[in-house]
Amino acid sequence: MSWRVQNHSESSPKVLEGNDLQSLAKYMKSDSCRNICLMLGAGVSTSAGIPDFRSPGTGLYSNLARLNLPCPEAVFEMDFFRSNPVPFYTLAKEIYPSRYRPTLTHSFIKVLHSHGLLHTCFTQNIDTLERRAGVPEEKIIEAHGSFATQKCIDCKDPYDDAKIEKAILNSEIPRCERCKGLVKPNIVFFGEALPKRFYQSALSLELEGDADLLIVMGTSLTVNPFASMADRVKGCPRVLINLNEVGNFHRQDDIVLLGKCDDIVRRLCRELGWEEELDREWEATADNVKTEDKPPAPGKNAEERISEELERITKGIEESLAISEGVPESSPDCDKEETGTERKDKPHSPEKEELGVGLGKEIQESQSASDGKL
């Protein structure tokens, strides 16, 4: 099999019968499990062919490093964007959500919702594939923003969804119809505040204790405040589904399932008796990809598709830089971390900081720093 159970719990579980997939499925079918919260990272989208950002040697930043940028992260830096939006929009065209089909893992989220079990889906990803899989918007917290909405960076007027999609796919720079300022998707750029809704929902999750189960999927859990949620959610079983063991999953009711997200959720749905429903939901996403976009070549795996995407992206940005008007004289601060299609602020260390204090403070800072923003 392509997945395995990693058991590091400190003692016998209190709630679960065991620290394995079968015990997880039994708990999910019980009356004790009514509210499931999810934390998602780039690993849930890689099988769709979307490149991640930070994998050494293969991530998007590694490929952008050879281009004439102050640093690869400059593509997501506001001052650079104001001076030269062409690289960002060249990248945006290649990773635009309509070009990609939701993965089996995204369809699993929809199945959870259909069974009335999904409380909240927190995602670091900007690709909106949760929405495209049919998960209701009100269930999704896009911690680092997404391509779902956009606005003028100057007057803050919202911009039409269809118009920005047309502009991006036609390699055009969208401009505000009111003030002619640059339009930017509501993706959190470096230095921008995270959405207030993320802080408020994360704080509520901790203080109210709403979760009966927390499932963490496809994330490195390296950048806060998103990553700190996993440790601060108390009183419920936690599950890590990931290629590698990350974070601190050593509690009595923790389960670590190592492998590809799609493989593990299929196995879990089989245990739950949901496999046929999972397949139906995923088949329903086939029409979500724009017909003008070329489908993946038969027989190519995700790694091959991602490699091709990276080459096309970097080539496109290289060409765009050759015809654009130049770059800012001052280089942006490039000492930031980035993982997958996960957008985030500069990380901070949570250490022993209480979520109620830490996030409460950040909500206040966010409200003062982002008046009229996300």
Looking at residue 362, what is its pLDDT?
43
Q: Which residue in this structure is represented by tokens 């409200």?
A: 367
Residue 121 annotated as binding site: no
Residue closest to 6 by CA, chosen among 234, 242, 263, 220: 242
Q: Are strands 183-187 and 254-259 parallel, antiparallel or unpaired?
A: unpaired
Residue 42 annotated as binding site: yes
Sign of CA dihedral 189, 232, 121, 358: negative
On the question of a common fold for 1-49+103-144+195-296 and 51-99+146-187, the answer reads no
Cβ neighbours around 183 below 10 Å, total? 25
Instruction: Output the pTM of the full model.
Output: 0.79
Residue 202 annotated as binding site: no
Residue 52 annotated as binding site: yes
Residues belonging to the active site: 144
Cβ neighbours around 356 below 10 Å, total? 12
E strand segments, the chain: 3-6, 36-40, 118-123, 140-142, 145-152, 183-187, 213-217, 238-242, 254-259
Cβ neighbours around 10 below 10 Å, total? 8
Residue closest to 244 by CA, chosen among 42, 18, 26, 17: 42
Joined tokens for residue 66: 């050879």
Task: Decide: helix, strand or coil at residue 317.
Answer: helix
Residue closest to 190 by CA, chosen among 24, 344, 10: 344
Provide the residue-wise pLDDT of the chain in tens; the chain has 374 residues: 445 555 555 566 799 999 999 999 999 999 999 999 999 999 999 999 887 776 666 667 766 766 667 887 888 999 999 999 988 998 898 889 999 999 999 999 999 999 999 999 999 999 999 999 999 999 999 999 999 999 999 999 999 999 999 999 999 999 999 999 999 999 999 889 999 999 999 988 887 788 999 999 999 998 889 999 999 898 899 999 999 999 999 999 999 999 999 999 999 999 999 999 999 999 999 976 654 454 444 445 555 555 565 566 666 666 655 544 444 444 455 654 433 445 443 433 333 333 443 444 443 444 443 333 33
d(CA 141, CA 111): 18
Looking at residue 355, what is its pLDDT?
40
Fold classification of 51-99+146-187 is SIR2/SIRT2 'Small Domain' (3.30.1600)
E strand or H helix that includes residue 91: helix 86-95
Alpha helix segments (H runs only) across 190-274: 196-208, 229-232, 261-272
Q: Which residues contact 182 (CB under 8 A, 6 or more apart)?
A: 81, 82, 85, 152, 153, 154, 173, 174, 175, 176
Q: Which residues contact 368 (CB under 8 A, 6 or more apart)?
A: none
Is residue 370 within 8 A of residue 362, CB to CB? The reply is no
Joined tokens for residue 132: 């495209």
Domain ranges in the chain are: 1-49+103-144+195-296, 51-99+146-187
d(CA 212, CA 239): 12
Looking at residue 26, what is its pLDDT?
98
Residue 317 annotated as binding site: no
Alpha helix segments (H runs only) across 284-352: 302-323
d(CA 215, CA 199): 19
Give the CATH number of domain 1-49+103-144+195-296: 3.40.50.1220
Looking at residue 253, what is its pLDDT?
96
Residue 126 annotated as binding site: yes
Residue 131 annotated as binding site: no
Is residue 23 within 8 A of residue 255, CB to CB? The reply is yes
Residue 127 annotated as binding site: yes
Looking at residue 143, what is its pLDDT?
96
Residue 5 annotated as binding site: no
Is residue 355 within 8 A of residue 203, CB to CB? The reply is yes
